[in-house]
Amino acid sequence: MSILRNVAVLAFVAFAYGCASDVARTSAVLASQPAGDAQRITVVEDATVRSSSGYSRTLPAGSTWELRGTLPQGRVYRRVGDVFTVEGAHVHEAYLVVSGDLLVGYYLPVEQAYSQADPVTLKIK
């Protein structure tokens, strides 16, 4: 009986592992940034952010982000001097989408898509 239970657990894990959902997204067109907007922001305090797939990432204090354009949802920033990715079934390079001081989602430059995030207030300067 115990063997059967182990097989069942293994099968479940196999099923779950092989079916991680990908990052949910919708097509998005990045518009050029308005003149006068701050070109760079710096995260002042560590922030844990989560993507639609459930994976989380930490935006470390001191990380700098450069304005790359805008979406209807907010301004789009790319990490400077480092990399930032979001993860689901696959891993995608991602930029932050920030409205005011609220992280609202991610822009995926390869997929040219917007992915909504659980909103997180960022301490930025």
Partner 1 sequence: MRAVWSLLLAIVVATVAGCASGPKFNTVETTLPALSSGKGRIYFYRSSSVGAAIQPEVLLNGTVIGTAKPHGVFYVDRDPGNMEVVTGSEVDRKLTFTLAAGDTRYVKLGVNFGVLVYRIAPELMSASEAKADMADLAYMGAASAQ
**Which residues sit at the interface with partner 1, rule CB under 8 A?**
10, 13-14, 17-18, 81-83, 85, 89-93, 108-111
Residue given tokens 């079934």 in the structure block: 89
Q: Give the C-alpha distances (Å, rounded to integers) separating 61 from 48, 58, 69, 97, 121.
A: 11, 9, 23, 17, 13
For partner 1, the closer of residues 93 and 118 by Cβ is 93
For partner 1, the closer of residues 4 and 110 by Cβ is 110
Q: What's the closest the beta carbon of residue 95 comes to partner 1, in angstroms? A: 10
Q: What's the closest the beta carbon of residue 81 comes to partner 1, in angstroms? A: 8
Q: What's the closest the beta carbon of residue 111 comes to partner 1, in angstroms? A: 7
For partner 1, the closer of residues 66 and 99 by Cβ is 66
DSSP strand pairing (102-108 vs 95-99): antiparallel
Cβ within 8 Å of residue 98, ≥6 positions away: 41, 74, 75, 76, 77, 104, 122, 124
